[in-house]
Homo-oligomer: A and B are copies of this chain.
């Protein structure tokens, strides 16, 4: 299983990851029963923890101090989790990672405040790291992420958009926070400015590649693998790269419109998914993802020769090959 393979990649720094996992658990403790349950539900729903891993590995390029690095790693993962809870409200998602979402199990209000709580907790962690530049950079990233959420509202269900609109969205949805993870790890360890920038660019390219693959998997993976029905992005109005390649296609086009306005039958959806899978739209999307991956690997090549360099490379390559 791919998840296990990722675990193997992590094996060299498993103790660090476990420490971060424990700290994450601790960070979400609270007196409120609803809040505690909702946060724990979210935490135990899993996730690849790629942001903490990028924080950890990037910090190796400076003076690695695990307690400081763990704070940054927890903060970044918490920001990611908070954005997931709020996104589930906006996407009206009932399932994520094969489990009911917070908004489905409780309601939108609980989901909103759980996100607020997790975000505030993240700020507690980040504010314990003394570095003004780091605080400023993270606040800037958060602004861009939220702006991205408005762009998503504006673009949702709208077929009158181009590939640039898609890139604009995935940059804010995914790439910026992964770039920040690399940047924060390096800053927290006091790495050289040149290395900080390189790691940030690496994270950005990896993030773009990662999200494109994610959007492809929404069509190719099984419901069991995804934890939600295949094609969910489309029925939720999220127009991804393969759809942009196919929207003017004579067969797929009309079915895409039906999927977006909610009038598609189960059989038509099956037909559409099969059509997408056998079309070249997925290959074209994968090619773009690979281009970003190559850019990421080029950044890695120019990093100082330490073991973490190879780990970053392996994880980037894994992201390019993952099946779900």
Residue A303 at the B interface, CB < 8 A? no
The answer for the CA separation of A124 and B151 in the assembled complex, in Å, is: 20
Q: Contact at B120–A35, with CB atoms within 8 Å?
A: no
Residue A275 at the B interface, CB < 8 A? no
Q: From residue 215 to 253 of chain A, which have CB atoms closer than 8 A to chain B?
A: none
- Nearest CB in chain B: distance from A165 CB, A: 13
Q: Which residues of B contact A90 (CB under 8 A)?
A: 109, 112-113
- Give the residue among A132, A136, A151 with the most B Cβ atoms within 10 A: A132
Q: Which residues of B contact A147 (CB under 8 A)?
A: 30-32, 35, 117
The answer for the CA separation of A143 and B39 in the assembled complex, in Å, is: 14
| Contact among B89, B115, B124, B142 with A139 in the assembled complex (CB-CB below 8 Å) | B124
Q: What is the copy number of this chain in the assembly?
A: 2
Q: Contact at A116–B31, with CB atoms within 8 Å?
A: no
In this complex, how many residues of chain A approach chain B with their Cβ under 8 Å: the count is 41
| Contact among B116, B128, B136, B151 with A146 in the assembled complex (CB-CB below 8 Å) | B116
The answer for the CA separation of A150 and B99 in the assembled complex, in Å, is: 23
User: Hey, which bits of chain A sit against chain B, CB under 8 A?
Assistant: 30-35, 86, 89-90, 108-110, 112-113, 115-117, 119-121, 123-124, 127-128, 130, 132, 135-136, 138-140, 142-143, 145-147, 149-151, 153-154
